[in-house]
Amino acid sequence: MIELLAQTGLNSLYAAAYLSLVAVGLVLIFGVMGVINFAHGELFMLGAYVVVALYSGFGVPYILVAAIGLIFVGCIGILMEFTIFRPLRDSPLGGLVASIGFLLIAQALVSMGFGVRMEHVPPVTQEVIVFSEKVRLPLQRLFVILAAVMFLSLLWIFLRRTRFGWALRASAQDAEAAALQGISIRQTSLIAMFVGAGLAGIAGVLTAPLISVGPHMGHAVIVAAFIVIIVGGIGSLEGAIVASVAYAFIHTIVTTFWDGVIADITGLSLMLLVLIVRPTGLFGTTDRA
Amino acid sequence: MPSQLTRAGLWLLLICMLLAVPHGLSFSQQEILVFLTINVLVVTSYRLLALTGEWSLGHVVIMGVGAYASALASKELGIAVPVAMITGALTAALVAFGLSYPLFRMKGFYFLIGSFAAGEIIRLLWKRFRDPFGGPKGIKKIEPMPDFDIVIWRFDFFEPVSYYYFCLVVVGLSLWIMWRIEKSPLGLTFHAIHWQDKLAESAGINVRAYKTLAFVIASGFSGLAGALLAHYIGTINPNSFDLEQMVFVLTWTIVGGTATFFGPILGCAALVILNEIVLREFGFEQGRPLIYGFVLILSVLFLPRGLEGLLQDFTGALRGRGRQGSRQ
């Protein structure tokens, strides 16, 4: 039983790692621009397809692929900012609907380029850390966990210690006041979009060798990310991380003892419950709706 | 204003056109016409909810509830198909009533996300419970409409033309009911809730009760559309009612515009016709999501009032009134 729990803990740590990367990006974009990016799961998917194209396709070294994935998906984020979020700044619902349009385009383009079948990326490393008979952690999963910790720490330093981060937090709190202080809203939006999208992209790059990659893989990710940001309190980065860990743990346990679909239903019901009982989320303070 | 007589004449012309349309088309185009007719009911019912200012992402799943309920009622319980369809519509309305309790505690995009979550839960339940929902493969071999004769015309419902006429009657009747609702004091209340919910509330209107009413009515008609679809195509599964379908409905509604009753119908017809004529002609059918994505973004960006806005500008210009006056 202890072993089973330990294994479940490791599995959920891995799930929490990539989920929090996606969710934190989503929250960052919401905080600065006030819009929910429905296509965030597709940014994750694009990151995974960078691995399919470069790593399985051309054998580019994995670490280089990771860097390219981060920058490429970050630039897609900038593209979204320019084309849809900036013109629709005054209508958050319009921005959300337009991002759904972007979701369709991304899925369709990837389906045309790569086909709709599932791709399997060759494993980067086959090594497994064996704690005991029943408790093992594949090295790639450890990579994901470590990378998530690293990127989230970098993000924290960026937000707390640099001028850009300071500007970002200021415009998340009050865009108008920030603009009066000489902070360029355009610039902070671009940075938020690049960082948010890049984090989703790197999550896709990291998990691609561990899961099957397909044009519609973003759906499960965005559903999980929605649950996490609603439960954690939309707009709260810490809440998103804590909720990711909690959700991943619950989801993994339910999957282990019942099955995956029941786990999804549990997660969604939890989210509905939070929406009913405490719409600001468990960690949120202000109601922005 | 056109006189009573010209009005009646126009309606007669429209009905004759609708009756004549399928006879000039190929078999596959006739089938598309059936789907188009059903989708007109979906978008119109979607607009009824949008009247109160809430945008749902669960409408297609509710349509699926109607489809599943109707299919199961006829298949498992042996209920006659027309009665099963009504059962489907009522089930959808009932499910919506149950969902309205949690959902209308939210508004704006909390409602949007909440309705999405609720829809996903229903879809996952279909997927998970093989008995009675058939799991991921869904329900197959759903009873078709039984044939019947009216004087000389034999209604064989495997024929798209016959089913089209049947849908025309059902959808026409439903549209008429929704039209009456919108023009009644009830419809005016919906509008009031959309534009001034706080004011409406302070004027003694129970906003939540009216929103629930709009949601239940809209869902009932959406369920009816689902039932019409299920007994025509004969097989449904959880993926028939997924987010992509929802996005299509959203696109039709937004492209058409929601200010008038006919906006979403216009959007639906225009996009389906564009889709079927242009894309099929060029053998680019897989490109449908791509085109819809672009159309959705472009219309949000450049056509905030939808096609109906364009049409109003156009007719306004013809009457020499220019652009103003048609704005909400």
Residues B210 and B294 in one domain: no
Residues B60 and B178 in one domain: yes
Tens digit of each residue's pLDDT (9 = 90 or more) over A182-222: 777 788 888 889 999 999 999 999 888 888 888 888 888 99
Residues B207 and B297 in one domain: no
Is residue B322 very low, low, confident or very high in pLDDT (cuts 50, 70, 90)? very low
Report yes or no on A269 lying in a domain.
no
Is residue A65 very low, low, confident or very high in pLDDT (cuts 50, 70, 90)? confident
Report yes or no on B128 lying in a domain.
yes
Residue B327's pLDDT is 43
List the single best residue of B247, B296, B298 to mutate versus A (max A Cβ within 10 A): B296
Residues B120 and B151 in one domain: yes
Residues B97 and B209 in one domain: yes
Residues B281 and B231 in one domain: no
- What angle, rounded to 10 degrees, do the helices at B263-273 and B27-50 form? 150
Domain holding A66, by residue range, is 2-215
- CB within 8 Å of B32: residues ≥ 6 apart: B272, B276
Tens digit of each residue's pLDDT (9 = 90 or more) over B54-112: 888 889 999 999 999 999 888 888 888 888 889 999 999 999 999 888 888 877 778 88
Is residue B318 very low, low, confident or very high in pLDDT (cuts 50, 70, 90)? low
Residue B298's pLDDT is 87
Contact A105 B116 (CB under 8 A): no
Give dist(CA B299, CA B307) in Å, integer. Answer: 9
Report yes or no on B14 lying in a domain.
no
With an 8 Å Cβ cutoff, is A101 touching chain B? yes
Residue A284's pLDDT is 62
Question: In which residue are the tokens 């922005």 written?
Answer: A288
Residue B11's pLDDT is 85
Report yes or no on B11 lying in a domain.
no
Strand A136-138 and strand B148-150: the pairing is: unpaired
pLDDT: which is higher, A176 or B9: B9
Tens digit of each residue's pLDDT (9 = 90 or more) over B258-301: 778 888 888 888 888 887 777 766 666 677 788 888 888 888 88
Residues B213 and B235 in one domain: yes
Give dist(CA A286, CA A24) in Å, integer. Answer: 18
With an 8 Å Cβ cutoff, is A93 touching chain B? yes
Residues B298 and B310 in one domain: yes
Contact A105 B127 (CB under 8 A): no
B135 φψ region: left (φ > 0), alpha (ψ -120 to 50), beta (else): left
**Which of B241, B274, B293 finishes a domain?**
B241
When pLDDT is averaged across residues A229-247 and rounded to a whole number, the result is 84
Tens digit of each residue's pLDDT (9 = 90 or more) over B97-148: 998 888 888 777 788 888 988 999 999 899 888 888 887 888 888 877 777 7
Report yes or no on A47 lying in a domain.
yes
Report yes or no on A227 lying in a domain.
no
Contact B102 A262 (CB under 8 A): no
**Which of B241, B265, B280 finishes a domain?**
B241
List the single best residue of A45, A97, A222 to mutate versus B (max B Cβ within 10 A): A97
B 34-63 residues with CB below 8 A of A?
55
Report yes or no on B222 lying in a domain.
yes
Report yes or no on B270 lying in a domain.
yes
When pLDDT is averaged across residues B12-29 and rounded to a whole number, the result is 80
A 196-235 residues with CB below 8 A of B?
219, 223, 226-227, 230
Cβ pairs A/B, distance under 8 A: 114
Nearest to B303 by CA among B238, B242, B249, B256: B256
Min distance A253 CA to chain B CA atoms (Å)? 18
Report yes or no on A127 lying in a domain.
yes
Of all residues in chain B, the one with the smallest CA distance to A260 is: B128
This model of the complex carries an ipTM of 0.82
Report yes or no on A111 lying in a domain.
yes
Residues B225 and B280 in one domain: no
Report yes or no on B21 lying in a domain.
no
Residue A233's pLDDT is 78
3-state secondary structure of B323: coil
Residues B90 and B202 in one domain: yes
> Does the pLDDT of residue B44 top 60, yes or no?
yes
Please, where are the H alpha helices in chain A? Answer: 2-33, 40-50, 57-58, 62-80, 92-114, 139-161, 163-173, 175-180, 185-207, 218-232, 237-257, 260-277
CA angle B129, B132, B135 (to 5 degrees): 40
Tens digit of each residue's pLDDT (9 = 90 or more) over B102-114: 888 877 778 888 8
> Does the pLDDT of residue B235 top 50, yes or no?
yes
**Which of B241, B264, B281 finishes a domain?**
B241
When pLDDT is averaged across residues A233-262 and rounded to a whole number, the result is 85
**Number of domains chain B contains:** 2
CA angle A5, A10, A14 (to 5 degrees): 145
Domain holding B138, by residue range, is 29-241
Please, where are the H alpha helices in chain B? Answer: 4-20, 27-50, 59-75, 81-103, 109-128, 130-133, 160-183, 185-195, 197-202, 207-233, 243-256, 263-273, 280-281, 288-302, 306-318
Residue A200's pLDDT is 93
Using a pLDDT cut of 70, give the percent of chain B over it. Answer: 91
List the single best residue of B120, B123, B275 to mutate versus A (max A Cβ within 10 A): B120
Report yes or no on B320 lying in a domain.
yes
Report yes or no on A268 lying in a domain.
no
Residue B63's pLDDT is 93
Tens digit of each residue's pLDDT (9 = 90 or more) over A6-28: 888 888 888 899 899 999 999 88
Contact A108 B297 (CB under 8 A): no
**Number of domains chain A contains:** 1
Residues B50 and B125 in one domain: yes
Of all residues in chain A, the one with the smallest CA distance to B102 is: A276
Min distance A219 CA to chain B CA atoms (Å)? 9
Report yes or no on A110 lying in a domain.
yes
| Element at A136 (helix H, strand E) | strand A136-138
Report yes or no on A285 lying in a domain.
no
CA angle B13, B17, B22 (to 5 degrees): 165
> Does the pLDDT of residue A289 top 50, yes or no?
no
> Does the pLDDT of residue A173 top 90, yes or no?
no
Residue A159's pLDDT is 84
Report yes or no on B104 lying in a domain.
yes
Residues B225 and B135 in one domain: yes
With an 8 Å Cβ cutoff, is A286 touching chain B? no
Of all residues in chain B, the one with the smallest CA distance to A220 is: B120
